[in-house]
Amino acid sequence: MTPLPGTDASYWMASTPDTDYPGAPEEVSADVAVIGGGMAGLCTAWELVRRGRSVVVLEAGRVAAGVTGHTTAKVSALHTLRYASLRDTQGRRAAAQYATSQQEAVRGIERLAVELGVDCQWERADAYTYATDPGRVGTLRAEATAAADAGLDATFVTETDLPFPVAGAVRVGGQAQFHPRRFLLALAAGIVARGGRVYERSRVTGLHDGSPCRVTTEDGAVVRARHVVVATHYPVFDRALMFARLETTRELVLAATLPAEQAPRGTYITPDEGTRSVRTAPWPDGRRLLIVTGEKFTPGTGDGNEGAPDAASERFRRLADWLRQHFPAAEITHRWAAQDNTSTDGLPYIGPFHPGTRNVYVATGFGGWGMSSGALAGTLLADLICGERPEHAALYDPRRLHPLREAGPLLSQQATVARHFVGDRLRLASADDVAAVAPGTGALVRVGAGRCAVYRAQDGTVHAVSARCTHLGCLVRFNDAEHTWECPCHGSRFAVDGSVLQGPAVRPLEPRQVPGAPGADASETDGADGPEEGGRF
C-alpha cells in the first residue's frame, strides 16, 4: 500500500519543546486539585491561583500534550450548527447565554495571551459553517438568523475565500485561531510563577469525595484538597454515569504548506462528507500551514486491516485526496488525530460532577470546540468554587437532564455499547493465530475461550495484551494508522504494549502470553480476555 502522507506527529507538538515538570510527591495538600493539564484544566488552575487559591495540577502525561496538543485550535463561538437547534429546544434565552459565554471565552483567551506576553500566533479570523449542497441552504439561513438573534455578528453568505464554490455559509465575525501549545505552555509557567504546582506523569486512579477530598495516583501519591476538578476530557471516574451521556468521536488531521496567496483567511467547517474543517496557520518561510480535518468516526469501530474502507489508514488517504483535489499546490507535512466527546443534548458539562457532591467538579463534552469551551470552563468553575454562580451556570450544569430531548441519544448510545459488549464477543477473531499477524499490524487472536490483542512490530517482536478494555470490559480494536488499541464503547486508547494513552480507562491492558510468541507458555494463555476489574470509582 502507498505510505501515509506526512510525518506522524501533531504540528503543535512538533513545533514546541517538551515539558519536564516533576511527578507528584508522596503527600500534597491544596485548596483545589485539578486533574488534567489541557485547556480546561490549566485555564481553571490559572483562574483559581489568580484569585488566591492554592492549586495542584495533576497530569497523567505531559501538559498540553493530550487532546489539546492534537486539536485544530479554532477559537470560535460558531460551533457548526448549534444556535437554531438550541433556540428551538431550550429557547432564545439559552441560545443567547451560550453565544455570550462562548464569545466572552474567545475574548478572554486573547486578553490572557496579551497578559502572558506569549507569541501564540493569535490571529483574528471570520468563522464559517458552509455547505456545497444546495439542499442545505435553508438550514444555513436558519442558523445564521438564530446566531444573530443570540447576539453574534452572524450573516448568511454565498461567497467565501475557499478555492471551490459553496451553496451557502454562516459567517460569524470576531473569531480567532492560534497555536494552542505555545499558549498553554506559557499558561502553565504562569500558574507556577503565581504559586501553583504542576505535576506531570501523575496519573490519577482514585478519588474520595469528602472534606477534604482525597486523590490518589498510580504511583501512590496522595493529594488532599477541599475541591477537585476533573478535567480529563473524558471523565476517568464513572460515579456520575457520564459514560452513558457522552459519545466519543475521532477525527483525522492533515497539515500541509501552501503559498500564502492561496491560503484561506477564514476558518471553515462543514458537517458534510464526514466533516471537513479548514484553517491555516503561520509557517516559518512565509508560506501558510493548511490544516484540514475530517473523516469523523467512533474509535475502535474500523476494520483495523489496511485496505479496508473504514480502516484509519484508508480514511487518511481519503482526506489526503480531498486536500490535494481542493488545494493542489499544498505539500503535506504532518498527520495526526483529534478526539472529542459530545453530550446527549449537545452542550458541555461544566459544574458539579453529580447531584451528591459539593466538592467535585467536571468539565467535559465540548463536542469538538474545546478551545472556547475550555476557557469558559476555567472561569465558570473558578466562579463556582469561589461561591459565585453566573447566570449561564445552569445552562452547562452536568446535573441537568432533559428526558424528552435526551432520550433518543441516550438510548442510541447505550444500544451501541451493548452491541459492542455482547456482539463483539460473538464474532470470530480477526486472526486465527499469532503467525497470521503480519509485521506492523495488530489483530484479535483467539486463545482458548478468549481473545488477545496481538501486535507484531516490523522487526517481528510480538506484543500481546488482554483484549478487554480496563474501563468497562468492551473488546478493543486495532487502529492501523496510529498503531493503537481503541475501545469502541467509550473511546479509551492504549499503546501496543497496553499502556493507557487516553481515558476513561486508567489502568493498562494486562500483558498476555500467547502460543507462537517468544517465551509463550501454554499454561499462561487460558482466559486471554477473562475478568478484569473495571475502572469505576
pLDDT of residue 244: 80
Average of per-residue pLDDT across 18-35: 97
Q: Which of 63-72, 102-111, 140-149, 526-535 bottoms out in mean pLDDT, i.e. has the lowest?
A: 526-535
Average of per-residue pLDDT across 401-427: 54
pLDDT of residue 434: 86
Which residues are CB-neighbours of 316 under 8 A, at least 6 positions away? Answer: 4, 5, 252, 254, 295, 335, 481
Position 336 pLDDT exceeds 80: yes
Average of per-residue pLDDT across 299-313: 77
- Measured between alpha carbons, how far is 424 from 231 in angstroms, rounded to an integer? 31
- Measured between alpha carbons, how far is 310 from 295 in angstroms, rounded to an integer? 10
> Please, which pLDDT band fits residue 536 given cuts at 50, 70 and 90?
very low
> Please, which pLDDT band fits residue 415 given cuts at 50, 70 and 90?
low
Arithmetic mean of pLDDT over the chain = 89
**Nearest by Cα to 253 from 435, 10, 475:** 10
Give percent of the chain above pLDDT 70.
Answer: 88
pLDDT of residue 401: 76
Pick 273 or 37 by higher pLDDT: 37
* CATH code assigned to 428-524: 2.102.10.10
Average of per-residue pLDDT across 471-488: 92
Q: Which of 51-60, 136-145, 350-359 bottoms out in mean pLDDT, i.e. has the lowest?
A: 350-359
> Please, which pLDDT band fits residue 455 given cuts at 50, 70 and 90?
very high
- Measured between alpha carbons, how far is 268 from 292 in angstroms, rounded to an integer? 9
> Please, which pLDDT band fits residue 128 given cuts at 50, 70 and 90?
very high
Cell numbers linked to 444: 484479535
Average of per-residue pLDDT across 262-274: 94
pLDDT of residue 387: 96
> What DSSP element (H or E) covers 373?
helix 370-385
Residue 73's CB: how many other CB atoms inside 10 A?
Answer: 26
Q: What are residue 103's phi and psi, to 5 degrees? A: -70, -35
Position 45 pLDDT exceeds 70: yes
pLDDT of residue 413: 53
Pick 332 or 273 by higher pLDDT: 332
pLDDT of residue 2: 78
pLDDT of residue 1: 64
On whether the CB atoms of residues 532 and 510 are closer than 8 A, the answer is yes
Contacts 24+ apart (CB under 8 A), 384-388: 384/351, 384/352, 385/32, 385/48, 385/53, 385/227, 385/229, 385/361, 386/48, 386/51, 386/53
C-alpha distances (whole Å) from 346 to each of 73, 85, 90, 325, 472 are 20, 9, 12, 32, 24
Position 105 pLDDT exceeds 90: yes
Position 465 pLDDT exceeds 80: yes
Cell numbers linked to 254: 492533515
CA-only gyration radius of the chain, Å? 23
Alpha carbons within 13 angstroms on the beta-carbon side of residue 260 total: 6
Residue range 208-248, pLDDT digits in tens: 999 999 999 999 999 999 999 999 999 988 766 777 889 99
pLDDT of residue 531: 37
On whether the CB atoms of residues 44 and 235 are closer than 8 A, the answer is no
Average of per-residue pLDDT across 143-170: 97
Average of per-residue pLDDT across 251-255: 97
> What DSSP element (H or E) covers 145?
helix 137-149
Pick the most confident of 96-110, 268-282, 447-461.
96-110
> Please, which pLDDT band fits residue 350 given cuts at 50, 70 and 90?
very high
Average of per-residue pLDDT across 483-506: 92
Pick 434 or 396 by higher pLDDT: 396
- H helices, E strands: number in the chain: 11, 27
Residue range 370-401, pLDDT digits in tens: 999 999 999 999 999 999 999 999 999 999 97
> Please, which pLDDT band fits residue 277 given cuts at 50, 70 and 90?
very high
Three-state DSSP string of 97-127: HHHHHHHHHHHHHHHHHHHHCCCCCCEECCE
Give percent of the chain above pLDDT 90.
Answer: 75
> Please, which pLDDT band fits residue 527 given cuts at 50, 70 and 90?
very low
